[in-house]
Amino acid sequence: MGNSRDQDNEILARLLLDGLVKFAVPGMVIATAGTYYMRRRVASLKATPVERWVLTGMHYWASTCLGATMGMWVYDRMVLEQAFKEEKKRRNN
């Protein structure tokens, strides 16, 4: 039973390290930078400070979600491809 718990902890640590740090965070940074650039281009001087603040919040929230989703999607694809390769190798042996 302890072995199973150790495996679960190892998988969780790998998900956190690989999935979040290597894929989700860079995706969030890229998406946030893109939405910042877009917000700066789109926001006109006619918008009130409150409207600009709301627009900024909406864009940053959306970009964070988008970046994390895309990063984890890439990581999921990588994990699935690795699992398929391991299963194929196991079946061939």
- pLDDT for 47 equals 67
For every residue of 8-61, DSSP letters joined together read HHHHHHHIIIIIIIIIIHHHHHHHHHHHHHHHHHH--TTS-HHHHHHHHHHHHH
Domain layout of the chain by residue ranges: 2-92
Instruction: Kindly tell me if the per-residue pLDDT of 21 is higher than 80.
Output: no
Shortest CA distance to 55 belongs to which of 69, 35, 70?
A: 35
SS3 (DSSP) at 72: helix
- pLDDT for 44 equals 66
- pLDDT tens readout for residues 43-60: 667 767 777 787 778 777
